[in-house]
């Protein structure tokens, strides 16, 4: 099969591992910078070019679209889809996952456990907004932050109000959540591929920090998750339409609570912690999708 990987940097660990896995399974693969892809859109068909050459004949595309290029990256992925290329996560699913507020609304509507969350726009409503959440500590998150950036913990009402007022002054989009103390600075990263969790790790925040992200100095080790945790992770990915997802959860007195669903989860931390060939799992899943699509295309009408 002929694979494309949408990535701005072919030297990144995750991109390299996907290339290795695809070639290891006997497929041809090319890394394409989505910002160098340009498109022709017309009623007689869809076309795309890359650095002066035609893009065609790809059976599958694996998106590794960074948050800073979500809009254009999704447009490129959508063009691939319109040209008949299989993908594990479509453009709309990635856009849904990138918007934390929309993501939480969709998950809550399906009864998936989440930390209580509030969101508002008018400064006059700040006091009542925070009252809806209850007393601090509060976790305040930028709507499109990644890797723990744009996340802060406030431990006093005045600190919560001050943080909210500051972010509003910067015209930032954010949400406020309850702090789950019993998680003790740890969360679970469940890596979902298709309809199963292929690997899971427990991330622990360093002393004096509440964010467990590995980019923030957190440590990781493999963990055996419960059936409820696995089912929650798979359901969360399915609700958003993602075939590949990193689902971050907290263990709480109320059961598993989803913090975030990452549409482009990194492979380095999870593979190092668990020893699982996650890249190989992704490639095998995408091959199955492409083969299914090919069979559908050949089905007589």
Q: pLDDT tens digit string along 231-289?
A: 999 999 999 999 999 999 999 999 999 999 999 999 999 999 999 999 999 999 999 99
Instruction: Give the integer Cα–Cα distance in Å for 296 and 33.
Output: 30
Sort strands 28-32 and 2-6 into parallel, antiparallel or unpaired.
parallel
293 vs 298: which has the higher pLDDT? 293
- Is the predicted pLDDT of residue 216 greater than 60, yes or no? no
Same domain, 101 and 242: yes
Confidence of residue 132 (pLDDT cuts 50, 70, 90): very high
DSSP 106: H
Residue 247 falls within a domain, yes or no?
A: yes
Q: What are the two backbone dihedrals, phi and then psi, of residue 5, each rounded to the nearest 5 degrees?
A: -120, 120
- Is the predicted pLDDT of residue 206 greater than 80, yes or no? no
47 and 40 in contact (C-beta within 8 Å)? Answer: yes
- Is the predicted pLDDT of residue 299 greater than 50, yes or no? no
| pLDDT averaged over every residue in the chain | 90
Lowest-pLDDT choice from 39-43, 78-82, 96-100, 123-127: 123-127
List helix spans (H) across 226-277: 227-240, 268-274
What does R_g of the chain's alpha carbons equal in angstroms?
Answer: 20
Q: Hey, which bits of the chain come out as E strands? A: 2-6, 28-32, 37-42, 45-50, 53-54, 60-63, 117-118, 138-142, 151-154, 174-178, 186-193, 196-204, 219-222, 244-252, 255-262
Same domain, 101 and 203: yes
Same domain, 130 and 235: no
* Token duo for residue 130: 């925070």
Q: What is the CATH number of the domain that holds 131?
A: 3.30.1490.20
Average pLDDT, integer, range 183-210: 88
96 and 260 in contact (C-beta within 8 Å)? Answer: no
Same domain, 105 and 126: no
Token pair 């065609």 in the structure block, residue? 56
Confidence of residue 215 (pLDDT cuts 50, 70, 90): low
pLDDT digits (tens, 9 = 90+) for 3-25: 999 999 999 999 999 999 999 99
Same domain, 197 and 173: no
207 vs 93: which has the higher pLDDT? 93
233 and 110 in contact (C-beta within 8 Å)? Answer: no
pLDDT digits (tens, 9 = 90+) for 102-129: 999 999 999 999 999 998 888 888 889 8
Give me the number of domains the chain comprises. Answer: 3
Q: What is the CATH number of the domain that holds 105?
A: 3.30.470.20
Confidence of residue 184 (pLDDT cuts 50, 70, 90): confident
Residue 80 falls within a domain, yes or no?
A: yes
* Token duo for residue 261: 């669903």
- CA-to-CA dists, residue 202 to 132, 164, 182, 245, angstroms: 31, 30, 15, 16
Same domain, 45 and 123: no
Same domain, 128 and 162: yes
Q: Which pLDDT does position 47 carry in this prediction?
A: 95
Average pLDDT, integer, range 58-62: 97
Average pLDDT, integer, range 168-192: 89
Q: Which pLDDT does position 255 carry in this prediction?
A: 95
Q: Which pLDDT does position 16 carry in this prediction?
A: 98
- Is the predicted pLDDT of residue 172 greater than 90, yes or no? no
Q: Which pLDDT does position 165 carry in this prediction?
A: 86
Q: Domain residues for 152?
A: 117-179
Confidence of residue 213 (pLDDT cuts 50, 70, 90): low
């Amino acid at each position: 099969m002929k694979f494309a990987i949408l990535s701005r940097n072919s030297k990144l660990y995750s991109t390299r591992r996907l290339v290795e896995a695809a070639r290891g399974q006997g497929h041809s693969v090319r890394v394409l910078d989505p910002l160098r892809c340009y498109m022709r859109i017309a009623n007689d068909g869809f076309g795309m070019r890359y650095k002066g050459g035609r893009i065609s004949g790809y059976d599958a595309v694996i998106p590794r679209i960074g948050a800073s290029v979500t809009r254009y990256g999704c447009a490129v992925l959508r063009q691939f889809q319109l040209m008949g290329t299989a993908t594990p996560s479509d453009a709309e699913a990635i856009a849904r996952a990138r918007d934390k507020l929309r993501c939480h609304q969709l998950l809550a509507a399906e009864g998936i456990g989440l930390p209580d969350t509030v969101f508002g726009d008018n400064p006059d409503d700040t006091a009542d907004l925070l009252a809806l959440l209850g007393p601090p500590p509060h976790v305040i998150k930028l709507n499109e932050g990644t890797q723990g950036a744009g996340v802060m913990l406030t431990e006093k009402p005045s600190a919560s109000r001050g943080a909210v007022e500051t972010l509003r002054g910067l015209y930032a989009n954010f949400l406020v959540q309850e702090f789950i103390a019993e998680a003790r600075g740890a969360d679970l990263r469940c890596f979902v591929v298709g309809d199963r969790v292929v690997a899971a790790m427990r991330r622990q925040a360093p002393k004096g920090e509440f964010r467990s992200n590995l980019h923030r100095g957190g440590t990781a080790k493999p963990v055996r998750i419960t059936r409820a945790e696995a089912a929650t992770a798979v359901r969360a990915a399915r609700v958003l339409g993602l075939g590949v997802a990193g689902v971050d959860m907290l263990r709480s007195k109320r059961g598993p609570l989803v913090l975030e669903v990452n549409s482009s989860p990194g492979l380095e931390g999870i593979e190092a912690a668990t020893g699982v060939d996650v890249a190989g799992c992704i490639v095998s899943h995408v091959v199955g999708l492409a083969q299914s699509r090919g069979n559908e295309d050949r089905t007589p009408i």
